[in-house]
Amino acid sequence: MKDEIVIAEALQHEVRIHAARSTDTVRAMQEAFDSSATCTAALGRVLTVTGLIASDLKQKEEHVRVRIRGGGPIGLIVAEADGDGNVRGYGDNMDLYAARADGHLDVGRVVGNTGTLQVARDMGLKEPFTGTVELASGEIGEDFARYFAISEQTPSVVSVGVLVGTDSSVLAAGGMIIQLLPGASEETISALEKLAASMRPMSEYMQEGYSAEALVTHLFDDAEILAKKPLRWHCGCSKERFSGALLTLKKEDLRDMIEEDGGAEIVCQFCRKKYQFSKEELQEILDAKTDVEHRDRND
């Protein structure tokens, strides 16, 4: 079953639902980082919710960028998604393992709960719409629910989960955001509260083989599917992009790379792909930089 996002309305069209199956996406992330079970669950949850938020974007060029700095040992967590269903992300330190006494992964402990969650929606306008809230627990689902309530004034239920096997492989992952639309009746509000209390962990539904669509129609009798979108782990980095980044370095740093290191290896922080730059390639970049500076001076 392929990863997919569905957008739906239910409860007399008074709630909007975004649901994702994200197993393959999170699995590809785990393979890229060889991350510990706890860090896989942490970043996997963030990637899933970031993909869900981005599923409202209309254009590939539009982005959602999430940054979480919770004070825990994972450090900074970054996730990005575009309007085409591509997601990527990283945590500073993806090796730490933490579990609670009951055996469940302790995501809140690696993320921490003393910092902030920031969401930036870049719609191609000059300034992205950015909202920041303090973390609720570092467990990710609650933190995003708090973000929607405070920063976007939208009461929301956020359920997200990643099930990791004993060998750190990803068995199942998924997420759901259920939001009350403006003017929702008391009846709908209490129906949603009841549903939220009775829902099982997201990763359980995914492991049982539910697609995102099947889960939505299982939970809501009157669900109407409005759209289906893809979701995949895809970085989009390239050697050209890193050449551009090298062009912004100081000339003396480029010279050091050429003369002392005899070349450079750049590792993409999002996907851990390695790019090699030979002495000759670095020299070309240095020459291009010198050309640009001459032109600037002559302008």
Whether the Cβ atoms of residue 111 and residue 70 lie closer than 8 Å to each other: yes
What is the nearest approach in angstroms of Zn ion to the Cβ of residue 235? Answer: 3
Separation between Cα atoms, residue 70 and residue 112, nearest integer Å: 4
What is the nearest approach in angstroms of Zn ion to the Cβ of residue 268? Answer: 3
Angle between the 37-54 and 23-33 helix axes, to the nearest 10 degrees?
Answer: 130
Question: How far apart, in Å, are the Cα atoms of 134 and each of 5, 44, 54, 145, 147?
Answer: 27, 20, 21, 11, 8
What is the nearest approach in angstroms of Zn ion to the Cβ of residue 234? Answer: 9
* Closest to Zn ion by CB, 19 or 271: 271
* Closest to Zn ion by CB, 271 or 282: 271
What is the nearest approach in angstroms of Zn ion to the Cβ of residue 200? Answer: 35
Q: What is the amino acid identity at position 282?
A: L
**Residue linked to tokens 């509260």:** 193
* Closest to Zn ion by CB, 150 or 245: 245
What is the nearest approach in angstroms of Zn ion to the Cβ of residue 264? Answer: 16
* Closest to Zn ion by CB, 210 or 233: 233
What is the nearest approach in angstroms of Zn ion to the Cβ of residue 173? Answer: 20
Half-sphere exposure of 276 (CA within 13 A, CB side): 4
Residues near Zn ion, by CB under 5 A:
235, 237, 268, 270-271, 273
* Closest to Zn ion by CB, 10 or 271: 271
Separation between Cα atoms, residue 74 and residue 91, nearest integer Å: 6
Strands 170-180 and 15-21: antiparallel
Question: How far apart, in Å, are the Cα atoms of 291 and each of 285, 288, 298?
Answer: 10, 5, 11
Q: Take residue 75 and report the two structure tokens written for it.
A: 């450090």
Q: What are phi and psi of 81, to 5 degrees?
A: -145, 150
* Closest to Zn ion by CB, 40 or 86: 86
Separation between Cα atoms, residue 9 and residue 198, nearest integer Å: 19
* Closest to Zn ion by CB, 176 or 268: 268
What is the nearest approach in angstroms of Zn ion to the Cβ of residue 274? Answer: 10
